[in-house]
Amino acid sequence: MCGITGYIGYRESVPVLINQLRRLEYRGYDSAGVALLQDGGVRIIRSVGKIGALEKLLEQQQLSSNIGIGHTRWATHGPPSDANAHPHADCSQQVAVVHNGIIENYLELREMLLDEGHEFSSETDTEVLPHLIEHHYEGDLEQAVRAAVEHVRGSFALAVISKDAPDRLVLARSQSPLIIGLGEGETFVASDIPALVSYTRDIIILEDGDMATVDSFGARISRFDGQPVERPVTHVSWDTSAAEKSGYDHFMLKEIHEQPEAVRNTIRGRVDGDRVLLKELDGASDAIRSAARVQIVACGTAYHAGYAAKPLIEELLRVPVSVDLASEFRYGDPIVGPDTVVVVVSQSGETADSLAALRESKARGATTIGVVNVVGSSIARESDHVLYTWAGPEICVASTKAYLTQLTALNLLALHMAQVRGVEEKTRRLARELAKLPDLVAEVLELEPQIAKLARELADREHFFFLGRGRDYAVALEGALKLKEITYLHAEAYAAGELKHGPLALITHEVPVVCLVTQEQIREKMTSNIKEVKARGGYCIALVRPEDESTPLVVDAVVRLPATDDRLMPSLAAVPLQLLAYHVANALGREIDQPRNLAKSVTVE
């Protein structure tokens, strides 16, 4: 979603802000802008389009300032345009604001401000904020911001500068991430850690209801009611090269190839021989033992990881497992309570719908476990227990290594819960096989030349279908999502047994159909489904186990995967589908790392 940056210190602020904004491009955006304090006033420069367009405008200006704020916008209220781009100012151009989130009562506030004579120049919800601050301003910027946010309903992370306060920025956070970076004689602000690590490794993560007044020497933090609070300083250990492409053409390809190490990091210290060790979940043991059901909630790719993990949890625990989209779960009347373990899966830990589902589950008395990548994120902090995936930063909007590490973490969780419930004999072999996954994923990556060649041959097709049964169907869902996300081609996944219930009508001559055949117990059933597709002229590509000799006889192309336990095959089968999507998109010349209309971290509904 939107990206916020801020700087105050001894450097020229524009190069810092632009560099920070570039590190936040993965969040997705359609316009960008900066606001500076210069010559006793507020200067705002903004542009629709990419950051490069903004840079060209900045090069035409005579700018010199040691304080500023920046923004990349992902449109929610009003289309992408120069007028709707951030930052926004009040009537007197005294205050400039950048905002990430959604102001739910902005129409009500806008009408009130219009009645008072304020003039608006955009269609955004954000623009009510500088006018509200202007309305409350009596010489103290912090107090004006504090008074303004009391009127606001919704989610927001704000950074504010004023010509009357040239030595500070004022920040506020409610349900949208905001981080302060501490330097020597300089302070940084950003929506996410990658925008800070080039400058400092010492950060403060603001919590919901926090405000901060930031100057060159640090930050003074308080609650919305004015009560001072202390927030811990966290040292970030990420290598700065983790957010660079390292020679790959795109972040997506880099992150696909990082998956062996990412999965290794997820497993590291958590598997000892034939046992899983999740010490971070020791406090959840009683809830796990007494659980009558498990509920998984997530969005997008994280939902597919949860769906893929469901069969293993049910098999080992013999309790029902539900997997729900967080955006649907939160508006229903979910059957969760003290006898339920709710697992919330999110890469960023800030996904708005998943966070709301977590809070709803806690309110109903459920024990919550967050499976997240970002340390200190909202879901990590608010869950009763947290299982980090340790994927490292993922820059490409389309998720790859986050998915694989989520699935690995969920498999670890399944084995851990089984051990806690006293059914350890079911888990020993699987724990040993799980420890081998990083090397097996590396083997799959060696198939890339074959998959790239296949992708180039299929890049002119307009429709793709993905078929599977059981665990393979779960992977098919993720394969179809990856393809449509970055190629803009039509792709659908179906449970293969449902073909005759409608989807078979869509199969025509030479339509590519990716068939996942990694589960031995349903191989013969899949063969029948493949023959149905072939009879209609479909072009079938099969992902098979190494020992499968029969499936290759009835398809047009075969991708042979390494061998592992059937229950872990989804972790291997997902990788060729990621590569297929990447190479089709590359052949089509798509903007792979930042596909149109999408954002990395969905922090609004």
Q: Which of 310, 401, 482, 600 is catalytic?
A: 600
HSE-up (13 A, CA, CB side) for residue 17: 34
Q: What value, to the nearest 5°, has the Cα angle with vertex 301 and ends 297 and 303?
A: 20
User: Does residue 156 contact residue 177 with C-beta atoms inside 8 Å?
Assistant: no
CA neighbor of 298 nearest in space, from 360, 355, 362: 355
Sheet of 340-346, strand order: 321-325, 293-298, 340-346, 367-372, 385-388
Q: What span, in angstroms and rounded, lies between the C-alpha atoms of 268 and 272?
A: 9
Active site residue 401: no
- Classify residue 220 by its DSSP letter: E
Is 396 known to be catalytic?
Answer: no
Buried b (16+ CB within 10 A) or exposed e, 430-457: bbebbbebbebbbebbebbeebbebbee
Burial of 62 per CB tally in 10 Å (0-12, 13-18, 19+): exposed
Yes or no: say if 191 and 602 are a contact pair by the CB < 8 Å rule: no
Contact assessment for residue 88 and residue 127, using Cβ atoms and an 8 Å cutoff: yes
Residue 536's nearest CA partner among 511, 502, 501 is: 511
Give the distance from CA 419 to its chain's centroid. 31
Instruction: Provide the b/e sequence for 87-121 (b: ≥16 CB within 10 Å).
Output: bbbbbeebbbbbbbbbbeebeebbebbeeeebeee
By the 10 Å C-beta count (0-12 exposed, 13-18 middle, 19+ buried), 139 is classed as exposed
Backbone CA torsion sign across 348, 407, 592, 326: negative
31-38/67-73 β-pairing: antiparallel
Contact 558, 552 (CB under 8 A): yes
- Neighbouring CB atoms inside 10 A of 273's CB total 10
What share of residues in the chain are helix, strand, coil (percent, to 5)? 40, 25, 35
Closest CA to 530 of 514, 519, 544, 545: 514
Among the options 2, 396, 515, 540, which is catalytic?
2
Q: List the catalytic residues.
A: 2, 600
